[in-house]
C-alpha cells in the first residue's frame, strides 16, 4: 500500500493533506489566459482573496507572470514589483493566510518568503534557475515541482513523448532525488496539465494520475478552465467551469490531494461530494 505524506510544514503551520484541499488561483498579471487583469488593483485583489477564503481555500497561489502558451518572459524586477506588494497587502488583511508564490526564479522565491509567503510553486521544477533547489532547501518551505516540456513560448508547438505517464514519472523521481539530497522535506508533484502536452497527453495523465502516488508525494491537479477542457467541449475558458468540475472529480478519484482552481466554491463542493462517495464505499 502507498502512503503519501499527510502533512506539509508551512513555516511552522502544518497543513493536513489526509483529505483534499483547494488552492485558490490569484493571477497578478494582465495577460493570464482566464482572469488576466482582474486583480491588478489592490482592492480588487483583496476582495477576491476574501471571497476565496470564505469559500474554503486553504492555500492562495499568487503569480506575477503569466505562463499561458506563448507568454512573454518579464523581467525579475517586474515580477518582484507585482508579487511582493501583493503578499504584504494580503497578509496585512489576512494574517493567517497560507500563501504560495508561483515563480521559477530563486530571488523571487527568497524575497517572497521573506515577505511572508509559505510555499514556492515552480513550473520549471528548477530547470530555469539552477539555484532554485538550493534556495528552497535553505528557505525550508514546501516546494511544488511541476512537469513542463519546453517553455511557455514553445511548449504547445509539437509536444511528443515516448510514454507520457512514464516520462513524467521518471522526471519526478529524478528531481525528487536531487531535492531530498539537499534536505528539502516537503515536496508536491504537479504533472503540469497543459504544459507541453497535447489533449491526448493530458487525458492520459489524468486517467493515470494514481501512478504518481508511488512517489509518496501529494499530487496537485491544475486543471481549472484549461484548454484540455475547452478543446473537447468547444468552449472558451469563460464557459469551462462545468468541465473543470467534472475533471476535478476524476482527479480526486485518482488520488489528487490539492485542486488548484479559479473557482473555489465549486471545487470545494466537488471535494465534499467525493468525500461522501468515499464514506459510503468504505462502509460497504
Q: Which residues are catalytic?
A: 226, 260
* Chain position carrying cell 475547452: 230
Q: Are 264 and 22 in contact (CB under 8 A)?
A: yes
Pairing between strand 59-63 and 187-190?
Answer: unpaired
Q: How much is the CA Rg of the chain, to the nearest whole Å? A: 18
d(CA 246, CA 5): 26
Return the C-alpha cell found at 265: 466554491
d(CA 46, CA 26): 10
CA 20 to chain centre: 13
| Phi and psi based region of residue 37 (left: phi greater than 0; alpha: psi -120 to 50; beta: remaining) | left
d(CA 53, CA 34): 20
SS3 assignment, position 21: strand
Amino acid at each position: 500500500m502507498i502512503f503519501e505524506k499527510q502533512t506539509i510544514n508551512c513555516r511552522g503551520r502544518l497543513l493536513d493533506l489526509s483529505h483534499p484541499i483547494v488552492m485558490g488561483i490569484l493571477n497578478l498579471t494582465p495577460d493570464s489566459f482566464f482572469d488576466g487583469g482582474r486583480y491588478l488593483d489592490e482592492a480588487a485583489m483583496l476582495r477576491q482573496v476574501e471571497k476565496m477564503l470564505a469559500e474554503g481555500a486553504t492555500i492562495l497561489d499568487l503569480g506575477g507572470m503569466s505562463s499561458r502558451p506563448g507568454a512573454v518572459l518579464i523581467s525579475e524586477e517586474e515580477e518582484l514589483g507585482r508579487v511582493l506588494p501583493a503578499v504584504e497587502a494580503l497578509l496585512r488583511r489576512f494574517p493567517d493566510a497560507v500563501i504560495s508564490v508561483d515563480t521559477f526564479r530563486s530571488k523571487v522565491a527568497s524575497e517572497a518568503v521573506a515577505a511572508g509567503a509559505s510555499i514556492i510553486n515552480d513550473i520549471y521544477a528548477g530547470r530555469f534557475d539552477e539555484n532554485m533547489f538550493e534556495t528552497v532547501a535553505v528557505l525550508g518551505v514546501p516546494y511544488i515541482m511541476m512537469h513542463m516540456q519546453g517553455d511557455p513560448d514553445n511548449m504547445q508547438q509539437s509536444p511528443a513523448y515516448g510514454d507520457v505517464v512514464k516520462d513524467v514519472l521518471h522526471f519526478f523521481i529524478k528531481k525528487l532525488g536531487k531535492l531530498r539530497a539537499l534536505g528539502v522535506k516537503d515536496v508536491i508533484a504537479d504533472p503540469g496539465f497543459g504544459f507541453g502536452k497535447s489533449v491526448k497527453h493530458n487525458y492520459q495523465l489524468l486517467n493515470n494520475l494514481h501512478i504518481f502516488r508511488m512517489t509518496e508525494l501529494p499530487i496537485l491537479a491544475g486543471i481549472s478552465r484549461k484548454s484540455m477542457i475547452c478543446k473537447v467541449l468547444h468552449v472558451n475558458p469563460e464557459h469551462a467551469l462545468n468541465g473543470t468540475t467534472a475533471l476535478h472529480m476524476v482527479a480526486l478519484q485518482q488520488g489528487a490531494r490539492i485542486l488548484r482552481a479559479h473557482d473555489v466554491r465549486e471545487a470545494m463542493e466537488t471535494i465534499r461530494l467525493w468525500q461522501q462517495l468515499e464514506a459510503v464505499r468504505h462502509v460497504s
